[in-house]
Amino acid sequence: MSQVAIDWAKERAIELALDINFKCQSVFDLNPINEFDLIYDSGCMHGILPHRRIQCLNMIYNGLKSGGYFGLTCFAPGYGEVGGPQFTMNDWEVYEEKTMKGGLAFSDEKIRYLMSDYFECTELRIMEAKDQESDLFGVPFLWTSLWRKK
């Protein structure tokens, strides 16, 4: 949870004259029912223990209005230092080693499998790298994706 990130997003929404209801809470404390057009996860899914993913995905699915969207940014395997070998652990290894080592990377197949009961894939791709001078953020060790509620 990052109040700083929420505050930054609120500033952008005000600049663009958008009416957005932001919440800064643990995903596990939310209990929305058909409330949102969009739920965006920037770095949460790769930090959730495997046995809690279903609970998280159920909450996201239930929180979205019919036809709503789920935006997901998470680690991709094999991309430089951040996406290196420590991020290619499988779910079982998390419990054997008692650590997630900073977050888990997901293969294309794994993301599609996790989402398949809940969402249709609109777009799934590796994020484009952006330099520090850019107004946009982009690093090539993250997936960026958009999913539509089934």
**Looking at residues 67-90, what average pLDDT do you find?**
76
CA dist 22 and 102 (Å) reads: 26
Count of structural domains within the chain: 2
CA dist 35 and 102 (Å) reads: 31
Count CA atoms closer than 13 A to 112's CA, side-chain side.
8
Asked if 88 and 142 sit in the same domain, the reply is yes
For 114-147, the pLDDT digits (tens) are: 999 999 999 999 999 899 899 888 888 899 999 9
Predicted pLDDT at 126: 93
What is the extent of the structural domain holding 98?
49-150
CA dist 22 and 6 (Å) reads: 7
DSSP 109: H
Residue 85: pLDDT band by 50, 70, 90 thresholds? very low
Asked if 136 and 88 sit in the same domain, the reply is yes
CA dist 66 and 56 (Å) reads: 18
Asked if 76 and 136 sit in the same domain, the reply is yes
More confident residue, 11 or 136: 11
CATH number at residue 119: 3.40.50.150
Asked if 62 and 24 sit in the same domain, the reply is no
